[in-house]
Amino acid sequence: MVVFADRIEAGRALAGRLEHLRGKGPVILGLPRGGVPVAFEVARALEAPLDVIVVRKLGAPLHPELAMGAIGEGGATVLEATVLVSSAVSDADLAGITRREQLALAERVALLRKGRARIDLTGRVVVVVDDGMATGSTMRVACEVARSLGAARVIAAVPVASVESTRHLEVADELVCVAAPPRFRSVSAHYRDFSPTSDDDVIALLDEAATHPPVPSTGSAEGGVGTDVEIPTGGLTLAGHLVVPARPRGVVVFAHGSGSSRHSPRNRHVASVLNEAHVATLLVDLLSPREATERDVVFDVPLLADRLGAAVRWLGERPDVGGCRIGCFGASTGAAAALWTAGQPGTPIAAVVARGGRPDLAAERLADVEAPTLLIVGSADTTVLTLNRQALVAMHCPRRLAVVEGATHLFEEPGTLDEAAILARDWFAENLTGG
């Protein structure tokens, strides 16, 4: 089960899933109160403006707990026609309840925004963020209100949700959810710290976002922004993507599996989690586009390892990361290349993480690996799990096997990739950066 330390960590994990929105001008809207700390982290990561979306339920006259609609700012109104008819709500009753809730809405907005104007949503991509969804009713209303305020595209985003709530969110154009466990109990069960968020907390975060608005990236790697690089090796130049956060505490080079590349959304997500921990990352294509279509080359682990070694040496010569300890993260056949490289004499590799790896393809080098190694495998990836258990016996270095429940080979199930990313982050933090 995915458990976040607090709303800050949850927001950062959610931001990783929303990375595709960077540079597309999204507006991030947090649902008060608990959704705002999560939204703050998303807005900061995507360099996007932050605001709140305040909604008020319109309760039926004789049954206030029954929602016959909701209202939002700018006169936005969402009505449930079936409830209005079944409850025989008169126009006068509806108007009276709406006026009362509009006053309450205005007071709430004035308190939270402190007089700041609402961000205009007309024609914008809008991301509505909460700290979790149990039933999804509040998120549905918020998405409908955002659309009625002019949003061109509405994305609902939460760190955790019940499976049931994800099935009834047609009002959103897209749902982004870090985890949707099959045995969902409550949102709070997925946080170690689920302390209440106060109005003062919300106001402070909105003040911070307004006082220090996002500044578009300049493209400098010093700020943690990605830079496309070229790495010479023999007669081939390898294409790579390097991210160097401020004050890097280590650097990890990624070796991708067959059929993947430096553009892999899975590896880019893991890299973003490492970047948040001030670990630099290099995602590199070890094969040319033509070679990547040739099966015998794709499984030529010595060739992959030779090129990975060239990338490692290239990293060691760069002044921005040259003083950092180097780790390797490998997936599938890329994991075999990482282990083969780590088993070579004199290698500078200080730590290895393999996700869904094929260590059997590097069997002759496993006993020579000295770097601490973490093997991450999905419980449903049974064949690869067996291969990794065998590798654990063959290796003599500090090593551990971590099994992610419910994950298949590509870690496509909700929450499983985030669990793998956190495991990798913690392993590299311990073995590259000293904790």
- Model pLDDT, residue 125: 94
Tokens of 202: 């919300």
Is the model more confident about 130 or about 109? Answer: 130
- Model pLDDT, residue 215: 47
pLDDT tens for residues 171-195?
899 999 999 998 898 999 999 989 8
- Model pLDDT, residue 319: 87
Closest CA to 356 of 272, 420, 264: 420
Is the model more confident about 389 or about 233? Answer: 389
Q: For the domain made up of 221-431, give the CATH fold.
A: Rossmann fold (3.40.50)
Closest CA to 63 of 78, 92, 84, 79: 84
Of 114-123, 140-149, 291-300, 326-335, which range is least confident?
A: 291-300
> What value does the mean pLDDT take over residues 296-314?
92
Mean pLDDT of the chain: 88
Q: State the helix-helix crossing angle for 265-276 and 416-431, rounded to 10 degrees.
A: 50
> What value does the mean pLDDT take over residues 247-261?
84
Task: Report the distance separating Cα 431 and Cα 356, nearest Å.
Answer: 20
- pLDDT tier for residue 435 given thresholds of 50, 70 and 90: low
- Model pLDDT, residue 427: 96
> What value does the mean pLDDT take over residues 245-266?
82
Task: Write out the residue limits of the CATH 3.40.50.2020 domain(s) in the chain.
Answer: 7-211
Task: Write out the residue limits of the CATH 3.40.50.1820 domain(s) in the chain.
Answer: 221-431
pTM: 0.53
Task: Report the distance separating Cα 243 and Cα 221, nearest Å.
Answer: 6
Q: For the domain made up of 7-211, give the CATH fold.
A: Rossmann fold (3.40.50)
Tokens of 131: 């700290």
Cis peptide leading into residue 7 (ω within 30°):
no
pLDDT tens for residues 346-381?
999 999 999 999 999 999 999 999 999 999 999 999
- Model pLDDT, residue 394: 96
- Model pLDDT, residue 219: 37
Q: Is the pLDDT score of 326 beyond 90?
A: yes
- Model pLDDT, residue 221: 35
- Model pLDDT, residue 287: 86
What phi and psi values does residue 232 have, to the nearest 5 degrees? -75, 135
> What value does the mean pLDDT take over residues 20-46?
91
What phi and psi values does residue 260 have, to the nearest 5 degrees? -120, 175
CA-atom Rg of the chain in angstroms: 25
Q: Is the pLDDT score of 224 beyond 60?
A: no
> What value does the mean pLDDT take over residues 76-92?
82
Q: Is the pLDDT score of 128 beyond 50?
A: yes
Task: Report the distance separating Cα 12 and Cα 45, nearest Å.
Answer: 7
Cα distances (Å, whole numbers) of residue 81 to 70, 126, 150, 196, 274: 12, 26, 22, 34, 48
The number of beta carbons lying within 10 Å of the beta carbon of residue 305 is 24
Q: Is the pLDDT score of 77 beyond 90?
A: no
